[in-house]
């Protein structure tokens, strides 16, 4: 019998135990990112109910890796790491690739232009890292 709770607990422990994912953020922003990562992972794991552990791992491991990579990249962005246009284009492309892996081919994602507009908001210092993360989540939810 498949134990989804054990799968979810394992993933949550991995995310919460990996300080490098969120160490660049203040508590509110880190909590928001962690909550997003856990909720997204739970959604993915919930779809593996009919699979045995081996098949489930094959299906979800690339997606979970993309979640962790996205969390790290988004955290670094919100903390002000991607300041030049070249690194921001690389970040955008990496995030769009990760989002495609996480959410699948059928999910509509933000356009490159929409993501560029949001990613550039870190420059004006009018938003906290927590607010930037919330804006990115809103952008993703509009497309979901």
Residues 6+ apart with CB under 8 A from 64: 11, 14, 41, 44
How far is residue 58's CA from residue 100's CA, in Å, rounded to a whole number? 17
Ranges under pLDDT 70 in the chain: 1-2, 143-144
Give the pLDDT of residue 144: 57
Give the pLDDT of residue 54: 87
Residues 33-50 have pLDDT tens digits of: 999 999 999 999 988 888
CA 100 to centroid of chain Cα atoms: 11
Give the pLDDT of residue 63: 95
């Amino acid at each position: 019998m498949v134990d989804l709770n054990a799968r979810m607990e394992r993933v949550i422990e991995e995310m919460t135990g990996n300080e490098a994912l969120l160490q660049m953020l203040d508590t509110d922003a880190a909590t928001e990112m962690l909550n997003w990562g856990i909720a997204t992972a739970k959604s993915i794991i919930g779809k593996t109910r009919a699979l045995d552990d081996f098949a489930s791992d094959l299906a979800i491991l690339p997606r979970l890796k993309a979640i962790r990579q996205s969390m790290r990249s988004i955290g670094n962005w919100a903390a002000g790491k991607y300041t030049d246009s070249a690194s921001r284009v690389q970040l955008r492309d990496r995030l769009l690739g990760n989002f495609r892996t996480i959410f699948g081919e059928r999910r509509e994602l933000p356009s490159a232009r929409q993501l560029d507009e949001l990613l550039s908001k870190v420059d004006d210092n009018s938003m906290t890292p927590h607010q930037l993360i919330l804006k990115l989540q809103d952008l993703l939810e509009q497309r979901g």
